[in-house]
Structure 1
Amino acid sequence: MDGKRILYVTTEMIPYFSENPMSIQSLKIPKAMSDRGADVRIFMPRFGIINERRHQLHEVIRLSGMNLIINDMDQPLIIKVASVPGEKLQVYFIDNEEYFKSKNVYFDKEGALLEDNDERAIFFAKGVLETVKKLNWKPDVVHVMGWMTSMVPAYIKEYYADDSFFNEAKVVVSLFDNSFEGELNSKIAEKLAFDGINGEVSELLSKPDFEAVTKSALKYADAAVKGEEIIPEAITSYIQTENIPLMEYCPAEGMSEAYELFYAEELMNQN
């Protein structure tokens, strides 16, 4: 992977989250690829539960200060960064007082989905991609993990379709059994349409439940990965129907070799 630029976009990662399949892989996979010569960047939201002092986050002034338009409203983008303890990796955090100040990650105290999860996902996607552009760091691969990253592929392939910065990037979607009950805000398709993202995605998100949100990411994927051995059957069927190259679940001991081969053979050789 010498010299290849891989952008990892996740919503959970150790040590900023407790251990689960996504948070573990969000660290292990970038580390493995970095160790094998790839140039790696990692992005995640700066949720309110992340202790900035303990994890030594600090604002990157030269990257902050942009405003993103979400549903016709200006929202300030704040970028923070931290070094992963004991690793040669940095994590960029997308922050905004409106969307990420709360200590509730996805759900409120009653267990219901947060009403603004749709706008948080859109803001996160646009924030990541605008920051990468500002860094002038053009990725070869964009690998997303977690349903709140599901808008990233659509923005790469639709919103930035005429932007040469992302036109050669290959999109990988990692799949986890982290479904949610209920639906995102029913107006998510309208908010995406404001940015020129419509068509089949609008149809998929007419009922924006976990299955629809996941499919909206897979629609733009060049490849997918099973982050766990078992994922929802409806998602597996969609992958087969759409002929999306799929990497089966890989245990930790063979991860480095498996991902390097997968990126090289399934992605870099695609036309």
Structure 2
Amino acid sequence: MNGKKILFVSSELVPYLPENEVSLMSYEAPRMVNSKGGQIRIFMPRYGNINERRHQLHEVIRLSGMNLVINDMDMPLIIKVASIPRERIQVYFIDNEEYFKRKATFTDENGELFTDNDERAIFFAKGVVETVKKLNWNPDIIHVHGWMSSLLPLYLRKFYSDEPLFADSKIVLSVYGKSFEGVLDKELMKKVAFDGIPEEALSLLEEPTYNNLLKIGVSYSDAVILAAEGIPEDLLSYIKDQQKPVLPYVPIQEFEEAYAHFYDTEVLN
């Protein structure tokens, strides 16, 4: 991994959010690459339940100030950063008052999915790409974790297909167990199509379930990592049918060598 540039994009990350399969591996994978001499950048949403004072988040003025168009609405993009001192790792946070100020991640106090989670996912995907463009940092690998990040491969391959910065980047998608029931807003497909992405590329989003969001991510990724044991059979079958490089599930205690080998031999090869 020495010298390789890897962009990690995750919907959750410790120590900023509680530990679960996604948040823990989203921390451990970049830590591993960092320890092996790779260059990393990490992006996640700045949810309102992240304690900015305790984690010392601060806005990066030179990266903020852009408006992203989401379903014909101008939404201001704010970029904040913080460091994980013991690992010398910097984390970039995608923020917007409308989408991420509320004191929760994905659901309200009744456990119901936020009705704008679809737009939050679009905003996050576009915000990551626009910020990396401003940084002028061309990653060798873009490793995506968590369903809130699952539209990023689609946007990179369709909306940003002419962006030279990502022309040689390989996309890896980590797939975890089902993390929500129900569906996102049924208008998600139309909102993505508003960005000029052909509807024939979006048929899976007609029913924006967890499985279908991940299938969209798989479709536009170059390789897949099975990052949990309890992945739905329907999703596993879809992944198998895509005939892309797949790393089977490896326990977190043994992942370092397996992930590094997969990056080197299956993704970058």
Q: How does 1:115-154 map to 2 (within 5 A)?
A: 115-154=115-154
**1-structure distance, mates of 2:180, 2:201:** 19
Matches within 5 A, 1:188-203: 188-203=188-203
Contact 2:189/2:199 (<8 A) preserved: no
Q: Secondary structure at the match of 1:211?
A: helix
Give matches, 1:24-173, under 5 Å: 24-173=24-173
Q: Deviation at 1:60?
A: 0.6
Q: Which residue of 2 aligns with 1:217?
A: 217
> In the alignment, which residue of structure 1 is the partner of 2:226?
226
The residue number in structure 1 matching 2:256 is 256
Instruction: Report the alpha carbon displacement of residue 203 of structure 1 after superposing the two structures with TM.
Output: 0.9
Give me the whole-angstrom Cα distance separating, in 2, the residues matched to 1:192 and 1:268. Answer: 29
- What amino acid does structure 2 have at the position aligned with 1:167? A
Aligned length: 269
Q: Distance in 1 between matches of 2:255 and 2:147?
A: 22
Separation of aligned partners in 2, 1:110 and 1:134: 39
The Cα shift of 1:202 comes to 2.1
2:144 and 2:174 in contact (8 A); partners too: yes
Take 2:220 and 2:200, find their aligned partners in 1: how far apart are those partners? 11
Q: Which residue of the partner structure matches residue 178 of structure 1?
A: 178
Structure 2 runs not aligned, ≥5 long: none
Q: Distance in 1 between matches of 2:30 and 2:198?
A: 32
Task: Give the superposition deviation at 1:85.
Answer: 3.4
Query: RMSD of the TM alignment (CA)?
Result: 1.0
Check the 8 A contact 1:189/1:198 in 2, yes or no. Answer: no
1:201 to 1:179, Cα distance in 2 relative to 1, 3 A: farther
Segment of structure 1 superposing worse, 91-100 or 229-238: 229-238
Structure 1 SS opposite 2:148: helix
Stretches of 4+ aligned residues off by more than 3 angstroms: none
Give the 3-state SS of the residue equivalent to 1:205 in structure 2.
helix
> Counterparts of 2:71 and 2:149 in 1: how far apart (Å)?
18
Letter in 1 for 2:144: V
Aligned residue type for 1:252: I
How much has 1:252 moved relative to structure 2? 2.8
What is the CA–CA distance in structure 2 between the aligned matches of 1:263 and 1:47, rounded to whole Å? 30
With over 3 angstroms needed to count, the CA separation of the structure-2 counterparts of 1:200 and 1:238, relative to structure 1, is farther
Amino acid at match of 1:126: K
The Cα of 1:28 is off from its aligned counterpart by 0.7
Alpha-carbon distance in 2 for matches of 1:140, 1:262: 14
| 1:67-97 CA distance string (max 9 Å, x none) | 1111111110000000013111010000000
Q: Specify whether residues 60 and 7 from structure 1 end up closer, same or farther in structure 2 by C-alpha distance, changes over 3 A only.
A: same
SS in 1 for 2:7: strand
How high is the sequence identity, in percent, across the aligned residues? 54
- One-letter code aligned to 1:212: N
Distance (Å, rounded) in 2 between the aligned partners of 1:150 and 1:24: 18
Displacement, 1:162?
1.3
TM-score for both structures, normalised by structure 1: 0.97
Q: Which residue of 2 aligns with 1:208?
A: 208
Residues in 2 aligned to 1:156 and 1:23: alpha-carbon distance in whole angstroms: 23
Q: Distance in 1 between matches of 2:178 and 2:49?
A: 19
Contact 2:178 2:232 in 1 (8 A): no
Q: CA deviation at 1:21?
A: 1.2
Q: Deviations over 1:102-122 (max 9, x none)?
A: 012111222211110000000
Cα distance between partner residues in 2 of 1:22 and 1:84: 17
